[in-house]
Amino acid sequence: MVWWCRRATNKTQSIHMKRERPSEPPVIVVGGPTASGKSALAMALAEEFGGVVINADAMQVYRELPILTARPGEADLARVPHRLFGVLGAEDPCSAGRWRDMALQAIGEARGDGKRPIIVGGTGLYLKALCEGIDDIPAVPSEVRAALEARYDAQGGEAFKASLARDDPRTAERLPPGDRQRLVRAAAVLEVTGKPLSAWHEGTSDEPAIQTEAVLLLPPRDALYAACDARFAAMVEQGALDEARAFLARGLDPDLPLMKAVGLRELGRHIAGEIALEEAIEEGSRATRRYAKRQYTWFRHQMPGATILNAQYSERLLIEIFKKIRQSY
């Protein structure tokens, strides 16, 4: 089923959009929670359809922490072209709007080369920005942000989040109390504009809609969580601990996006001597499962027109997926 990346405003428009024949084949979107196998699926699709894999993971856009963010390795990069992986430094924060601009450019370049763009990632806000556009949220004055940061530090994350939830419950619900940067950002937007951040994100821009063919991997929860545990343990075996130690030694601003990479905080506690490695692995695995659960919920409710595969990726799924994709040509 073709999923149009702009919500129709009425029934007539919806019917028209579904019947319209696109001038270009739809952009393929492969989504799903972490450890579901979406990267392997994206590469298989790129090989089958002559595609370019374009990253939609907010952590994999950075050069640092390639192991902990599960960025494609050299062997994967040699199989098919990849774009927007490891293109920014950790000190150069990426936003949804900035990523969208880069993704649109990568899509245009892929099509110019006669290749099929294949977007893959689990960052829902990035996909939403690409598909629906984003409103131009006004800039927040530095003094407002500083005052809210001081309030967060004085109140603590739990109390600050509870205060935000009174006026922007949807944003507060999806953010953990420890996510100082995003909680402060949401509170600042609310204070400056009088409009919740969640309402801003629901707005659409005047830019043209992008047609996509979306495939979601949503494995059974037990299988997904077992894969999360195995994946985090494998990361540690592959050198994630040394990678985290070198990264944390740089003393970067804790509010930078990459400092929120899943598992970094837990490994950092072991590096600081607070907990044993076994406990750090257990906590990192738990954090990965919680993240996968949030992604699972987002994809289930935010991409209703997508083809959903309730299974972990395996090659036996490819015949069915290839057939559905060919129907969109």
Res 225: pLDDT: 97
Local confidence band at 304 (pLDDT 50, 70, 90 cut-offs) = confident
Domains in the chain, start-ordered, CATH in brackets? Answer: 2-134+203-326 (3.40.50.300), 142-201 (1.10.20.140)
Tally of CA atoms within 13 A in the half-sphere of 55 that contains its CB:
23
- Residue 224 CA: distances (Å) to CA of 232, 299, 306, 320: 12, 14, 19, 21
Return the SS3 of 314. coil
36-40, 65-69, 94-98: segment of lowest average pLDDT: 94-98
Whether the model pTM is above 0.75: yes
Residue type, 218: L
Do residues 123 and 58 lie in contact, with contact meaning Cβ atoms separated by under 8 Å?
A: yes
Mean pLDDT of 144-168: 93
Mean pLDDT of 112-134: 90
CA distance between the termini of the chain: 12
